[in-house]
Amino acid sequence: MRVFRTQNELQLFNQELAQAGKELGFVATMGALHAGHMSLLHQAQAENQATIVSIFVNPTQFNNSEDLEKYPIRTDEDLALLKKEGATAVFLPSVSEVYGNKVEADDLDLIGLDKGMEGEFRPGHFPGVAAVVRRLFELIKPQRAYFGEKDFQQLLIVKHMAKVYQLPVEVIGCETERYASGLAMSSRNFRLSPDGLASADIIYKQMIWARENYQDYSPGDLKAAIVDNFENSDLELEYIEFADANSMKMVSDWEQHSAVRVFIAAYCEGVRLIDNIALY
């Protein structure tokens, strides 16, 4: 497995791939890799002759400096795992390699995709994500890039960003990997105790309950019922929202939307977890 840290190394790698007629599949990560990331890598491997994974904890997407400081760093374990799984290359850039001396997000219109949920509770998060993914796409020049649906709002924003800047990359959304309990795989789970891991499965259970019962409720009443259910749990609910799966607009009437997803953010043992699934 090749390990690159600079733009120049990537340029040579790209030339090599072009000469060999190989296409490059890319998985962007902030490290602390788990089976969810590996499933993105496996899809990239199935659809491309070469794969690259970036590990870069992006400072511009953390609105909370404590969250950035606490983000788990496990580079040695990550590299060993990627080598075992057969990634062709890893990109481990410094902050200045990605941003030069201007460590800030671009002024990109996110056309309302960032209005609710993560955009509301983490101001500045999505401009930071769009900025770093743009730079990574420009540096790495992949034919295809793979993003998990666990961060569904992020997936739509990355697709929008690539379209606006006309970047020649196909952005592909991949289903969320889950434990048997239903809990979504996440780097943040590394910070949970076994008890925390067990109680966190309420997030998935409540989303499934919403999918099975939404037709009997208005969006407002369904929300209120889920808020109540969280009150009797070990988790502290931050939000529960129903949003249109294409525009991310909040849903106040099921009839007016052809595809809706439920989105939840909740704190478990002080760790912020998010998840979402399609209601219909």
Which residues contact ligand PAF by CB under 6 A?
Answer: 28-30, 58, 61, 129, 132-133, 151, 154
From the CB of 58, what's the least distance to ligand PAF, in Å?
Answer: 4
Residue 72's alpha-carbon distances to 14, 36, 203, 248, 254, in angstroms, are 30, 16, 22, 29, 39
Name beta bridge partners: 243. 250, 261
Least distance between ligand PAF and beta carbon 240 (Å):
21
- Contact at 8 Å (CB) between 51 and 91? no
Nearer to ligand PAF, 31 or 219 (CB): 31
> Among residues 34, 37, 42, 257, which one is catalytic?
37
Q: 241 is written with which tokens?
A: 């929202």
251 HSE (CA, 13 A, CB side): 29
- Looking at the chain, which runs of residues are DSSP E strands? 2-4, 24-29, 50-55, 89-91, 144-148, 170-174, 236-244, 260-268, 271-278
Is the Cβ of residue 13 or residue 126 nearer to ligand PAF in the bound state? 126
Q: What are phi and psi of 158, to 5 degrees?
A: -65, -40
37 is catalytic: yes
Complex with ligand PAF: residue 13 or 137, whichever CB lies closer: 137
Counting runs of H as helices and runs of E as strands, what totals does the chain give? 11, 9
**Minimum CB separation from ligand PAF for residue 147, in Å?**
6
| Comparison of 90 and 132: residue with beta carbon closer to ligand PAF | 132
Q: Which residue number, 29 or 88, has a Cβ lying nearer to ligand PAF?
A: 29
SS3 of residue 111 by DSSP: coil
Please report where in the chains the tokens 């209601």 appear, as a residue: 279
User: What are 90's two structure tokens?
Assistant: 């890893």
CB 184 within 8 A of CB 150: yes
Q: How far apart are CB 190 and ligand PAF at their closest, in Å?
A: 14
Q: Rounded distance, CA 226 to CA 190, Å?
A: 26
Please tell me whether residue 177 adopts helix, strand or coil conformation. coil
Indicate which residues carry an active-site annotation: 37
